[in-house]
Chain A
Amino acid sequence: MTAPVLTETVVCPLHRIEIERGVAALVGGEPVAIFRTFTGDLYALDNVDPFSGASVLSRGIVGTRGDAPTVASPLFKQAFDLRTGDCLDAPGVRVRTWRVRVRDGMVCVGTPE
């Protein structure tokens, strides 16, 4: 059995991500949306909005629904749970989440979870 290869892509300095907004990055050729919440947590999701096929989730509005931190697709406004990638407006629809952390002030994205 082979241990999973843990790779990380350094994306940008943390300050490049405004509080309660997102940025998009190319990670291994795939578009990933990285969000920074009011509480300072970072989350990363697939950037492609499953409802439109457009690579836009990073440009949605970040907020909360109940306890869940969310982003709303900028096209048709469906909300996604930043922690799980679940769409909160369409049961069964989800996008992948990606590992993300800050190291030495830089935002690093790992692999899909």
Chain B
Amino acid sequence: MRHVVVVGNGMVGQRFVEALTARDASGEWRVTVLGEENRPAYDRVRLSALFDGSTPADLHLGDLPSGVDLRLGTAALAVDRAAKTVTTEAGVLAYDELVLATGSRAFVPPISGADLPGVFVYRTIDDLEAMREYAAGRSVGAVLGGGLLGLEAANALRLLGLATHVVEFAPRLMPLQVDEGGGAVLKNHVEGLGLTVHTGRACASLVGTEAGVTGLTFADGGAVDAEIVVIAAGIRPRDELGLGLPLGPRGGFLVDAFCRTEDPAVWAIGECAALSLDGADGRTYGLVAPGYAMAEVVADRLVGGDAAMTTPDTSTKLKLLGVDVASFGAADGPLDVVYHDGAHGLYAKLWLSDDAKVLLGGVLVGDASAYPTLRASLGGPLPGPPLALLAGDSAATPLTLPGSAQVCSCNAVTKDAIVDAIKGGAADVPAVKACTRAGTTCGSCVPMLKQLLNECGVVQSKALCEHFDHTRQELFDIIRVRGVRTFSELITGFGRGRGCDICKPVVASILASLTNGYVLDGEQAALQDTNDHFLANIQKDGTYSVVPRIPGGEITPEKLIVIGEVARDFGLYTKITGGQRIDLFGATVEQLPQIWRRLVDAGFESGHAYGKALRTVKSCVGSTWCRYGVQDSVGLAVALELRYRGLRAPHKIKSAVSGCARECAEARGKDFGIIATETGWNLYVGGNGGFRPRHADLLVSDVSTEDLIRTIDRFLMYYIRTADRLQRTSSWLEGLDGGLDHLRDVVYHDSLGLGAELDAAMAAHVESYADEWAATLDDEERLSRFVSFVNAPGVPDPSISFETERGQRVPARSVPVLITGRPS
């Protein structure tokens, strides 16, 4: 077995190990990773999310493959290339191959005062946590640097509640990414948020006392007060290990197209590498995509492959201070097209070849929706007239791109690879993501994935079924806006035929969500699936199961006894469910009202186990009993379950509340899960178990109970309004344009102004909730449908028979199944 030592456990080092492990099928390589920081690799691109609700744990990139020896808090101190060893404080490690992935450090310009307390750099989680702590109670801050990192730092100070100055030496913000026109538009946006921008000015010194920084002076005279200063003036490669290897002109280990240094056993990848292609000077890249590409190249080389770097794609798209900014390709060219709408803060510029046929590069500020199409068109013909492209209304589709065009630059996935995956059966965005990795890093190409699916004809006309040409969301809007109240009205006006088992339950669910009346009244009765029709869950033998609601999983002994007695008296098979309640199986339709009469009398309500609706809010026992609990998780779970009981949705909804970070309620496996913090609650959304398990994503953190409930209200209502039929929150979220950030904008920051409407919709639900089973038992007409045979009430269905297994009644195995299998 050969040994590769990786120096550095950042994003690129991590990607290298994953790539090598994936390729090393024969297990040739033993891997040791040295990480200087005390925490495992995290998503540095999303560092600023720490100021917007995320925790360090949310940035964690996932565990390394098993068998990898990860040594955290262990810096490489020296390398002996002749002996092929690395020295750490703990000892000496021999290597066969050495991969340097040491990354960058923040550049601190040589100005006086840079070592004062209160002066920070913006590079690691520890930097940000120290910054947050120091900022508490202070009111003015400044950032040196108006580039990408500087604007991120400025946003952080703003979110911490500080009046913020941004100082940039260049004449415009983000000088590396945008031109003058774009810089001006960007500056307007930033100033509109209340920040003070000083472009074209150099900071001469930081001033203060031993107690801390108090301000800064400019080289051209003048000064501003600042109680905290963040230096974001660029990064420098971490090449101080030296090793006696040649470096690039601006630092970084000089490497060839295989990412190999002068020493054939030493490789360098990511921000510490100065990549020299075709004899050019070595150049470093401060973006993650080129780093990932280098990681893949070295991994391939180590298993005998012949991968090599091509000129890295430095295209970027980001959202800074709420402004979309994108740049791609060259920043110059013979021809340019400019689109400038100062009133709306939009700016775009494209560079074209002298015949105007080849796209060379461009800049977008204010609206970057054209970015995926434009970036993929680089070096090729424009897929449409330039201004139409920029205005975002062109007929341009990915199919007009060449097959070799890179649709996902983060993971180097071409259009061909995506089209192949689609032809191979990937039928939706999540499947394409899983198959190709496209769209899994920054997500900016997700709209293109959708278009490609459409263009390939896999998707699926958006028609719900043969009776409606609409999606569920469109039907929802039609019903809501036109005030449609019956299925007949809807299908006469907007569909054809008389419906089917697909569209009828969808319409029933929408009507229930919007009107919240009794689901079996009038024509609505004919729309319901048998489960909703009999308010119970049909089983394989045609009997039903009964699940009373047990909010939060909390139940008194008396109620538990009632369930036991009912199960015993009706001979029902009894099982504890995963949602902390009890399922009673084997009831015939005529037994259902009798069973529920006793349950309702004992204070039980429908558990909606039969509906596409809220199921349970599971909980751990929380601070009431648990010595670790920090909040009353059971109390919150009960309150949430009672609030959302009976809420009809595109699919079932599950939830859980954990009373501390130990997460015993498994909240992150739920559609919405809540985990207690010392001072409030973290809300996670979009998780599920099932066929394709997914952990929920952090939506907001450390919020009060009131904020939490309002956010969940809006999340649920937004999901109910916009999801497809039978789409769980997980795939809804994955397919949502703009993903989690968009969702947070809508439900937490109210960016679409929908908040009041969603709040009102939920208030109406809570107000009008009534237990369906109590309502059924009170009405002879409603009860009359609970017979096996309409001409022989009281005669049970002779086809149902039972046998006994482990002391309980189960369906007889001898039930003849005439045909097995199901149509596809």
Contact = CB atoms under 8 A, between A and B. Distances in A.
B791 interface: yes
Nearest to A68: B497
Interface in A82-109: 87, 89-90, 93
B497 A63 contact: yes
B790 interface: yes
Contacts of B504: 61, 63
Interface in B601-657: none
A89 B488 CA distance: 26
A77 B538 CA distance: 13
A51 B526 contact: no
A87 B795 CA distance: 29
A74 B792 contact: no
A52 B500 contact: no
Contact of A25 (B523, B529, B784, B792): B792
Interface in B478-518: 488, 497-501, 503-505
Contact of A12 (B467, B788, B790, B823): B790
B466 A66 contact: yes
B267 interface: no
B556 interface: no
A53 interface: yes
Given A23-B790, A75-B538, A60 B501 contact: yes
Contacts of A9: 791
Which bucket holds chain B's interface residue count?
35 or more
B534 A59 contact: yes
A24 B498 contact: no
A78 to B, nearest CB: 6
Nearest to A93: B819
Contact of B791 (A25, A48, A76, A78): A25
B523 A75 contact: no
B374 to A, nearest CB: 44
Interface string B355-391: 0000000000000000000000000000000000000
A66 B528 CA distance: 21
Given A25-B790, A62-B526, A55 B498 contact: no
Contacts of A77: 501
Contacts of B314: none
Interface in B787-823: 788-792, 795, 797-800, 815-823
B501 A21 contact: no
A32 B469 CA distance: 35
B774 interface: no
B498 A56 contact: no
A79 B538 contact: no
B2 interface: no
A37 B501 CA distance: 14
A54 B542 contact: yes
B245 to A, nearest CB: 66
Contact of A63 (B488, B500, B534, B541): B500
Given A64-B499, A93-B819, A52 B540 contact: yes
Nearest to B800: A55
From B467, B523, B527, B790, residue with most partner A Cβ within 10 Å: B790
Contacts of A51: 817-822
B85 interface: no
A74 B499 contact: no
Contact of A54 (B499, B540, B798): B540
Given A52-B540, A56-B538, A74 B789 contact: no
B533 interface: yes
Contact of B529 (A11, A31, A61): A61
A51 B527 CA distance: 23
A50 B791 CA distance: 23
B530 interface: yes
Contacts of A10: 791
A89 B538 contact: no
B530 A26 contact: no
A75 B540 contact: yes
A19 B819 contact: no
Given A20-B526, A65-B500, A53 B534 contact: no
B525 A18 contact: yes
Among B528, B530, B533, the one with the most A-chain Cβ atoms within 10 Å of its Cβ is: B530
A90 B499 contact: no
Contacts of B523: 19
A72 interface: yes
Contact of B500 (A21, A70, A87, A90): A70
A76 B541 CA distance: 12
A58 to B, nearest CB: 9
Interface string B763-802: 0000000000000000000001100111110010111100
A96 to B, nearest CB: 12
Contacts of A34: 790
Given A56-B538, A59-B534, A64 B817 contact: no
A26 B500 contact: no
Contacts of B784: 16
B510 to A, nearest CB: 16
B528 to A, nearest CB: 8
Contacts of B534: 59
B799 A55 contact: yes
A21 B526 CA distance: 6
A89 B821 CA distance: 12
A89 B789 CA distance: 27
Contacts of B497: 63-66
Nearest to B820: A51
Interface string A1-21: 000000001111000111111
Contacts of B498: 20, 37-38, 62-64, 69
A87 B526 CA distance: 21
Contacts of B788: 24
Contacts of B541: 52-54
Contacts of A89: 823
A111 to B, nearest CB: 16
B331 to A, nearest CB: 57
Determine which residue in A52, A56, A75, A90 has the highest number of CB atoms from chain B within 10 A of its CB, and name it.
A52
Contact of A50 (B466, B797, B800, B819): B819
Contacts of A23: 790
Interface in B522-566: 523, 525-530, 533-534, 538, 540-542
B799 A54 contact: yes
A11 B792 CA distance: 9
Contacts of B785: 18
B823 A78 contact: yes
B130 to A, nearest CB: 59
A56 B790 contact: no
A106 B377 CA distance: 71
B790 A16 contact: yes
10 contacts: A25-B789, A26-B792, A54-B540, A55-B797, A56-B530, A61-B527, A63-B504, A74-B538, A75-B542, A77-B501
The 5 closest A-B pairs by CB, nearest first: A54-B542, A72-B501, A89-B823, A74-B530, A20-B526
Interface of B: 466-467, 488, 497-501, 503-505, 523, 525-530, 533-534, 538, 540-542, 784-785, 788-792, 795, 797-800, 815-823
Interface of A: 9-12, 16-21, 23-26, 31, 34, 37-38, 48, 50-56, 59-66, 69-70, 72, 74-79, 87, 89-90, 93
Given A63-B500, A65-B500, 11 more contacts: A9-B791, A18-B785, A25-B790, A38-B488, A51-B817, A60-B501, A61-B499, A62-B526, A65-B466, A72-B500, A72-B501
